[in-house]
Amino acid sequence: MWEWLLAEWTQVLGFATGAICVWLAGRRNVWNYPVGIANNVVLFLVFVGAGLYATATLQIVYLLMGVHGWWRWTRGAEQSRSFVVRTPRKAWPWLALAAVVGTVVLVWVLTSFTDSQVAIADAATTAASLVAQYMLNRKWIENWFVWIGVDIAFVALSVVAGLWVIAALYLLFIGLCVIGYRSWRHVAVAEREADVVPA
């Protein structure tokens, strides 16, 4: 009984911290990173309990990338330039390659060393999530499209794993990502207009 209650409340805490994190990212608020780090710790426990080992490991990587993103937004290159930029064209092939290679490596790890029943889906969503997080850290506006795709997949994966609260969280994430994209796009348009010098 107590274990069930703990598992449910852990999902609820993951839901709350995750929703706040994405909402803050959509508002271009650097506090999305510390809240996201707290979310990573909670979701690590949730996913280990559900046997989603790649997704659980992803939370550790997210935590490290969260520290990296926090630094970039406050001290790094992104701190000293315009907030929102488009993903460079030359970056897309490398991002796609990273997602494919990451998926292949994780499928091998999961099928070789764990009892995962959803290795391909777990690996693919994990690899795509890392790509999306990297893009967010760089303030590339198209990160929101990648996140939406990842969140749709995570809804299905969470339902299969019986994590109904987490599935609802990812549904909420989809809506927050749409809002985040529209907010970032508004900023990008305003910045372009401000750069126009009157004749």
For residue range 77-86, list pLDDT tens digits in order: 655 555 678 8
Rounded Cα–Cα distance for residues 143 and 116 (Å) = 28
What would the pLDDT profile of 91-130 be if each residue is shown by its tens digit?
999 999 999 999 999 999 888 887 877 889 888 988 999 9
pLDDT band at residue 2, thresholds of 50, 70 and 90?
very low
Nearest to 13 by CA among 41, 34, 33, 32: 41
Judged against a pLDDT cut of 80, whether residue 180 lies above it is answered with yes
Exposure class string for 58-83: b at 16+ Cβ within 10 A, else e: bbeebbebbeebbebbeeeebeeeee
Distance CA 147, CA 58 (A): 14
138-170 pLDDT, tens digit each: 889 999 999 999 999 989 988 888 888 788 888
- Which H helix or E strand runs over 158? helix 143-160
Q: Is the pTM of this model over 0.85?
A: no
Assigned token pair, 62: 């997210």
- pLDDT of 135 strictly over 90: yes
In which residue are the tokens 């060393």 written?
113
pLDDT for the residue numbered 165: 79
> For residue 61, is pLDDT > 70?
yes
* Burial class of 56 by CB neighbour count within 10 A (0 to 12, 13 to 18, 19+): buried
Mean pLDDT over residues 86-90, rounded?
A: 94
pLDDT, mean of residues 65-81 = 76
State yes or no: pLDDT of 4 exceeds 70. no
The encoded tokens of residue 159 equal: 């339902």
Element (H, E) at 195: helix 164-195
190 vs 94, which has greater pLDDT? Answer: 94
